[in-house]
A and B are shown apart, each in its own frame.
Chain A
Amino acid sequence: MTTFFLGIGVGLCILVFFVLYRVVFGPGIFNRVAAISAIGTKTLVILLIIGYLYDRIDMFVDISMVYALLNFIGTLAVAKYLEMEGERK
């Protein structure tokens, strides 16, 4: 069971690098924002898998909840800022 979760965690890390391509080369800002939000979702699951591997799942649930919250609020704030910039132009 540990090996199974370890394999899934490594697979998710490799998938993060695929999405990182969009963050670096995405034409325009909207592609980059959406890709960062997707990376945040994957990071959440990777944190939980690490918590299971270290056998301290209760601690890592707290950390991942905080990260989910900050990801959500961060994406909202960036979207609001871009809307305001678009209106001003």
Chain B
Amino acid sequence: MIHISDDIIIRTLARILVPFIQLYALYVIMHGHYSPGGGFQGGVILGASMVLLLITHGYGETKVRFSERGAVIFSSIGLLIYSGIGTLCLVFFGNFLDYGKLSTLLQVVPAHARSLGILGVELGVGFAVMAVMFSIFFDISTSGELPVDE
């Protein structure tokens, strides 16, 4: 399932669409306050863009941008961002994930600090979801062994 497709139409369409899909996924993450979206949905779309690149161009092209080892690291980074922001609120004498106490660090009013805190947490969730989606698809379709480089 993960080797380069010999149909030129699908290859060209996929390589043109992937940057737009990724930008749309980041838009969905950042605008979680105002329109339907948020961290999980944006992460799923990011993972879907990586899967599209994987099934049309093979593992050689995807490895340059986002390898399988990078997926493992990325999921940990997402979790680190989430619990890191929570612990930062603990440091400033608040509860866990009490974003209002971050206002002294960011020099803004507490309401704005809560908005920025939620944005940061959504970003962490998005990264983790993207990495896990990519990793699940890769492991199931190759059943554990890395594909030979073409």
Binding partners A and B: yes
Where the two chains meet, the residues of A that have a C-beta atom closer than 8 Å to any C-beta of B are 58-59, 62-63, 65-66, 69-70, 73, 76-77, 80-81, 84
How distant is B47 from chain A, measured CB to nearest CB, in Å? 10
Stretch at the interface among B34-42, B110-118, B122-130: B34-42
CB of A70 within 8 A of CB of B48, answer: yes
Chosen A-B contacts, 18 in total, with CB atoms closer than 8 Å, are A59-B35, A59-B36, A62-B35, A63-B36, A65-B24, A66-B28, A66-B41, A69-B21, A69-B24, A70-B48, A73-B48, A73-B51, A76-B10, A76-B52, A77-B55, A80-B1, A80-B55, A84-B1
Find the B residue at minimum CB distance from A85: B1
Q: For the complex, count residues of B whose C-beta is within 8 A of A.
A: 16
B136–chain A nearest beta-carbon distance, Å: 13
Whether the pair B28, A62 counts as a contact (CB closer than 8 A) is: yes
Does B26 lie at the interface of the complex (its beta carbon under 8 Å from any beta carbon of A)?
no
Q: By CB atoms of chain A within 10 A, which of B5, B37, B41, B48 has the most?
A: B48
Q: Is B45 an interface residue (CB 8 A)?
A: yes
- Which residues of B sit under 8 angstroms from A70, Cβ to Cβ? 48
The distance in angstroms between the C-alpha atoms of A81 and B24, with both chains bound, is 27
Whole-angstrom distance from the CB of A2 to the nearest CB of chain B? 23
Residues of A within 8 A of B45 (CB): 66, 69
Q: Once the chains bind, are B36 and A62 in contact (CB under 8 Å)? A: yes
| Interface of chain A: mostly helix, strand, loop or mixed | helix
Output the least CB separation between A18 and chain B (Å).
Answer: 29
Distance of A76 Cα from B10 Cα, bound (Å): 9
> Which A residue sits closest to B42, measured CB to CB?
A66
Alpha-carbon separation in the docked complex, A66 to B44 (Å):
10
Partner of A62 from B10, B37, B51, B55 at Cβ < 8 Å: B37
Q: Could you say which residues of chain A place their CB within 8 Å of the CB of B35?
A: 58-59, 62
A80 partner residues in chain B, CB cutoff 8 A:
1, 5, 55
Query: In whole angstroms, what is the CA distance A38 to B93 when docked?
Result: 56
Residue of A nearest to B24 (CB): A65
Q: In the assembled complex, how far is the CB of residue B88 from the closest CB belonging to chain A, in whole angstroms?
A: 31
Q: Find the B residue at minimum CB distance from A56.
A: B35
CB distance from A59 to the nearest CB of B (A): 5
> Which B residues from 11 to 70 make CB contacts under 8 A with A?
21, 24, 28, 35-37, 41, 45, 48, 51-52, 55-56
